[in-house]
Amino acid sequence: MEPVIELDDLDVRLAGRPILKKLKAALTGRSIGLLGPNGAGKSTLLNTLLGFYKPFAGTARVFGRDIRSHAREVRGLIGYMPENEAFIAGMSGVRFVRLMAELAGLPREHALERAHEAFFYVGLGEVRYRALGTYSLGMKQSAKLAQAIAHGPKLLFLDEPTNGLDPPMRTRMIQLIQEIRDRGDLRLILSSHLLRDVEECCDEVLILKDGNIAAFCNLEEERRSNRRFLEIETHGERNGDFLAAMEKLGCETAPGAQGRVKLVMPDGLEVRDLYEVAAAQNVQIRRLDHKRDSLEDIFLKAMETPNGRL
């Protein structure tokens, strides 16, 4: 699969201070999570890819286009939902989004049509003629998303899209992001310090710490792996026979106290096979859990890495 973003020893310094330190990675996912604590360099990386900051050394490529030599072309491919507000408060929502679409290169009439479509898409169709200054925080976040997608980009940058949202509005924003991801007509990068947002929306994650890459992993592969790792609680006098039977089927088992068992299932073996073996051994499976919090485990391990380096 063609890389969405290639980081080639990217080094960025602001006022002489190193912010991003020789980042090297190839990001290929449909939805890429950019994760890290505040100050890790996430927004700086997005701003560098957009051409707002110049690399001190190295470079990066967006769909194969170098950000140094093709900055204007790169910006034309991207829709950007910034973390901070950047509205003209007295302007109506639809007029503002039309203006942003025009600045992105759409003809005036086409930009207006796309602005209306974008507002209805994010659920703001009924308030599109209201002044942006009267919008609630959740409405402003949705309006930022509308202006980011109105011109039909190939790549969407979402910088802290759920920041400050109450639970219902956060759920709605996550659903929109998932819908955009699943449509398949554009790729997205979601920058956040919230594990839950990245876990729910992304299939690949780049973790930054102190301007370094602390971890880079494919979440889809992690999820597939986790589906093979089970924790079960059994009851019966033949637990030993049950474990022996599971090992014969290729499972790795680790018995614990009070009938608890951890096991890793080989490919081709399904959960229903466990219940069939348990029934044959007159053993009850009282609880079964898949391993969870894989991203949290990865993140915590990355934060423990000295200097934030792999």
Q: What is the pLDDT along the chain (310 residues), one digit of tens a residue?
A: 778 999 999 999 999 999 999 999 999 999 999 999 888 999 999 999 999 999 999 999 999 999 999 999 999 999 999 998 888 889 999 999 999 999 998 999 899 999 999 999 999 999 999 999 999 999 999 999 999 999 999 999 999 999 889 999 999 999 999 999 999 889 999 999 889 999 999 999 999 999 999 999 888 777 666 557 888 898 887 888 888 998 988 988 888 887 888 888 888 888 888 899 999 989 899 888 876 556 877 888 888 866 655 5
Q: What's the confidence (pLDDT) of residue 269?
A: 86
Q: What's the confidence (pLDDT) of residue 67?
A: 97
Q: What's the confidence (pLDDT) of residue 157?
A: 98
Contact 117, 88 (CB under 8 A): no
Contact 211, 300 (CB under 8 A): no
Contact 192, 43 (CB under 8 A): no
Q: What's the confidence (pLDDT) of residue 291?
A: 65
User: What would the two tokens of residue 186 be?
Assistant: 């554009």
Prediction pTM value:
0.79
User: Which architecture characterizes domain 227-290 according to CATH?
Assistant: 2-Layer Sandwich (3.30)
Contact 160, 192 (CB under 8 A): yes
Q: What's the confidence (pLDDT) of residue 260?
A: 86
Q: What residue spans define the domains of the chain?
A: 5-223, 227-290
Q: What's the confidence (pLDDT) of residue 34?
A: 96
User: What would the two tokens of residue 163 be?
Assistant: 């920041």
Q: What's the confidence (pLDDT) of residue 236?
A: 82
What number does CATH give the domain 5-223?
Answer: 3.40.50.300
The three-state secondary structure class of 192 is strand
Phi and psi, residue 107, nearest 5°: -60, 155
Phi and psi, residue 150, nearest 5°: -60, -35
What is the distance between the alpha carbons of residues 94 and 89, in angstroms, rounded to a whole number? Answer: 12
Q: What's the confidence (pLDDT) of residue 306?
A: 66
